[in-house]
Amino acid sequence: MYNVNILMKAIVHMLSAVFLVGCLSMSVRAQVTVTRTATLMGSRFEFTVIEKDSMLAQERIAEAMAEVSRIENLISEWQPHTQISEVNRHAGIRAVQVDREVFDLTARAIQFSKLTHGAFDISIAAMDHIWRFDDTMEALPTAEAIKKSVEKVGFQDIILDSVACTIFLSKLGMKIGFGSIGKGYAADKCRTLMKMKGVVGGIINASGDIATWGNQQHGEAWLIGLRNPFKQHKMVKRLKMRERAVATSGTYEKYVEFEGKRYAHIINPKTGYPSTGLVSVTIYGPSAEFANGLSTSIMVMGVKAGKKVLRKFPHYKGIFITDDGKVLR
């Protein structure tokens, strides 16, 4: 005959073990998704992270925001205390030593300029602002003014010294700026930081330059919809993204019109004239920085030359929308 007390103790121990395992299993599975927006780098950033609880998620988002601010305090050409502002102030005077991070970002930008034959150029920051897209422009600039506006633009005049870690702009009045790839770079860096901190999944949306990692809370891939600017309620494509990035450059929001012709805000650095032929270019692949550089360049280069460049990078795909509404892949 079984000893009832011993049997009851065994059952209690067994139930306790099951309850403990169940609690451990639930604690592993327990997650929350938290999203927060902020204005950084003069743009809207949205941070989404999956963490064990809301407090920890908010802490991680604060760390990501601090990372964006750190980058902005290195590369902004608008804030006078940054290393890039120091480089710009000494254009034509002397080389300026910078952090290796700033040097490497500049070097990658120059390589991109070479790859695209000048369609991408961070020295476009020196261009005279003869094109204005804030409703204050009353007439087209003259051909002479447009030609003069790009006199100090030219990536060939950015001199790098890797040993000394210096940047020298060889012409007086030159400037460099990272408006084209800075936010994508920040999104990539935040993703790296969050993964290092053990965040299992999330999205960094840097005003349309998006970096994702992991899955949504219930295991599905992140879903990013690409809208058609000609059909606002229709998606061109829905991207399922895990460890991916996407960037879109477009001319459908900032432009001016004269005599029925549209002139958009993406300027060809070589000519000073607005890009034509394409309304938007979306590039998706591993890096938001690289995707943004490609999308901006292809807007200037056009479909044929842009596709030729894109084929050199099989990990990246593109969707082009022409000014007559055609969607090309």
Q: What is the pLDDT of residues 220-273, one digit of tens each?
A: 999 999 988 888 778 899 999 999 999 999 877 777 888 777 788 899 999 999
- First and final CA of the chain: distance in angstroms? 78
Quick check: helix, strand or coil at residue 302?
Answer: coil
CATH of the domain at 288: 3.10.520.10
Q: Does residue 88 share a domain with residue 161?
A: yes
CATH of the domain at 145: 1.10.3980.10
**Same domain for 240 and 99:** no
Q: Which two tokens stand for residue 245?
A: 């990035």
Outline where DSSP puts E strands in the chain: 32-40, 43-51, 96-97, 158-161, 166-169, 201-206, 209-213, 222-228, 231-241, 245-250, 255-258, 261-264, 278-285, 317-322, 327-328
Domain membership flag for residue 24: no
180 marked as binding residue: yes
Q: Indicate whether 88 and 150 sit together in one domain.
A: yes
Q: What is the pLDDT of residue 260?
A: 76
Domain span at 111? 83-169
Q: Is residue 290 part of a domain?
A: yes
Binned at pLDDT 50, 70 and 90, residue 5 comes out as very low
Q: Torsions phi, psi of 64, nearest 5? A: -65, -40
Only one residue has tokens 């290195």, namely 74
Number of domains in the chain: 3
Helices 303-310, 288-301: axis angle to 10 degrees equals 150
Mark whether 72 and 148 lie in a shared domain.
Answer: no
Question: Of all residues in the chain, what percent carry a pLDDT higher than 90?
Answer: 75
Structure tokens at 254: 């900032």
- For the segment 160-212, what is each residue's pLDDT rounded down to a tens digit? 999 999 999 999 999 999 988 999 999 999 999 999 999 999 999 999 999 99
**Is 13 or 107 the better-scoring residue by pLDDT?**
107
- pLDDT score for 19: 35
Q: Is 123 annotated as a binding residue?
A: no
Residue 31 lies in a domain: no
**Which tokens is 300 given?**
């200037």
For residue 243, give the nearest of 205, 282, 287 by alpha carbon: 287
295 and 275 in a single domain? The answer is yes
Clarify whether residues 150 and 297 are in a common domain. no
* Within-domain flag for 21: no
Residues 119 and 209 in one domain: no
Q: In the chain, count of helices (H) and strands (E)?
A: 8, 15
Residue 63 lies in a domain: yes
Question: Does one domain contain both 293 and 314?
Answer: yes
How many other CB atoms sit within 10 Å of the CB of residue 168? Answer: 19
Same domain, yes or no: 297 and 200? no
Q: What is the pLDDT of residue 240?
A: 96
